[in-house]
Structure 1
């Protein structure tokens, strides 16, 4: 063999070995970040940022990671504030990965702002404008449900008057949503005693008063565990008006298995009742980094293992 040919062959061999080692390292990194796809019994919906250490900062990469892990739904409270181009990309990715879009929040200025309980025209107008804009966002991402928080409690008004004000405003909202097959879901919250909507029975009454398929309950298990407890019983009492669930353990508002709520039993109850909608993972991670994100996924696998 000529010396020049020998050198070329040696360089090619070294290059191949180097490429092979790099490829193996890349594959090993992917294996470390991605486990085999899990078949969940229910449609749990993560949100952006929940798995960013495992999937990277790119939002579409995060969506694809969720799908690769077996999650079949997704929610994004801040969708209305995203660029239209990003909304379109999200919608296209969800369709490609056969994922269901969960809730986004109707932009009315914040949970405490522009309260519908006050009966003020300017507050209702802001809410209705948010509903109209939400319809266009829903079309881009193929959403069906939008979160609505009525606003703050009005201490200068009797509760019956506040109830009537809220019902009247929501009836005007459903006039916007009904023609498009969309549903606003009312979320009772535990964040402040100054919020108007706090309990499941109160939300049930409001939905009955609005009397529309476009106005239902978002049953946030974390908030309602704090406010009233009796989760399974109250789910049964308000069942015919529930369209959506959200998840978070208490105390701490982290993933299932980190607090006092027996999510395996709750999930089994919801499953046994025939629920086929979305359960939003509206909570933080109890631990930081990749291990913390993997712990969230494993917590859902454990809590979802209720058919044995």
Structure 2
């Protein structure tokens, strides 16, 4: 057996022992503590559908039960709006039974990934408002409080100020609907493509201030903001009054904390110190495949969440 293969297998075996309740062995041999499986975390991390399918099976309800058993107390599901009503009701009932919170789903009528709200055209506004109405009804079924909004792509035929004004007008109309349903849209600046209109935290802050509604706030996705602007803690502080939701993903790779360059333990400690009580969406993939990868992911969160000692 090659030395590299031997070390990889040994590492995965150690991770499995930790997650199943055995003694935890960190990279520092002197730092050995009991396993924390089932214990709640200091912050409210929210896995998503499929993240633990190898451990819990394909049924999303079984995955939620597994998440709860591992100490997670929230979930998020970008595609919840597209699930059938019967399953939405079952998810809502299970979350209530387990005393878990529903994180974000995405308000998307089909226009999020094209030129849309920046144009000011009635056809895009009407679909957005109709989707907001559907989202309020969904939120009642699963007791959701937050929903992601992406205003679409730049309309490069228009000046940026006009595009911004069009987006603000649309979001004000949407916020009127969401306020009545107790749902907050969280605007997410993204790094996926430079064609996206919403790209930076300060831009999003400005728009939230202009919309001036408790139902229009910022989703600060740490992965995207590391790629687009850096200075994570500084920008979190600058935008703090408008931030209602946080998402996680290390960079590069968009996997769990500890797989990239971001010092998540420091960021989590900073958020905890500031008194953040919201959901921390785990919007990333698993660095390793199979059950071993899922157990490694849980261990990564236990490690990053260990910021009080």
Normalising by the residue count of structure 2, what TM-score does the alignment of the two structures yield? 0.88
Distance 1:113 1:136 in 2: 25
Aligned to 1:225: 226
CA distance in 2: counterparts of 1:204 and 1:277, whole angstroms: 18
Deviation of 1:154 (Å): 1.2
The one-character-per-residue Cα deviations of 1:9-31 (angstroms, maximum 9, x if unpaired) are xxxxxxxxxxxxxxxxxxxxxx9
Aligned residues of 1:148 and 1:185 also touching (Cα < 8 A): yes
Distance 1:263 1:96 in 2: 31
| Cα offset, 1:108, TM superposition | 2.3
Q: How many corresponding residue pairs?
A: 279
- The structure with the greater share of residues assigned to helix is 1
User: After superposition, what is the alpha-carbon deviation per residue over 1:54-81, rounded to whole angstroms, capped at 9, x for unaligned?
Assistant: 1111111100000010001100000011
RMSD: 1.4
Runs of 4+ in 1 over 6 A off after TM superposition: none
Q: CA deviation at 1:254?
A: 0.3
Deviations 1:190-247 (A, max 9, x none): 0011110000000000000000000000000000000000000000000000000000
Could you tell me which residue of structure 1 aligns to residue 296 of structure 2? 295
**Structure 2: stretches of 5+ with no match in the other structure:** 1-16, 22-36
TM alignment of 1:260-271, pairs within 5 A: 260-271=261-272
Match of 1:166 in 2: 167
Structure 1 residues 300 and 126, CA, compared in 2 at 3 Å: closer, same or farther?
A: same
User: In structure 1, what is the Cα distance between the partners aligned to 2:162 and 2:173?
Assistant: 17
Decide whether the 8 Å contact of 1:108 with 1:127 is kept in 2.
yes
2:8 matched to which residue of 1? Answer: none
Corresponding residue for residue 258 of structure 2: 257
Matches within 5 A, 1:227-246: 227-246=228-247
> How far is the alpha carbon of 1:301 from its aligned partner?
0.3
* In 1, Cα distance between equivalents of 2:74 and 2:174: 26
2:123 alignment counterpart: 122
Q: Which residue of 2 aligns with 1:5?
A: none
Quote how far apart the aligned CAs of 1:291 are. 0.4
Give the secondary structure class of the aligned counterpart of 1:306.
Answer: coil
- 1:154 alignment counterpart: 155
Structure 2 distance, partners of 1:109, 1:32, is 43
Alignment of 1:22-61 (within 5 A): 35=21, 36-61=37-62
How far the C-alpha of 1:180 sits from its partner, in A, is: 1.8
1:136 to 2:133 alignment: no
**Structure 1: segments with no counterpart, 5+ residues:** 1-30
Matched residue SS, 2:186: strand
Larger radius of gyration: 1
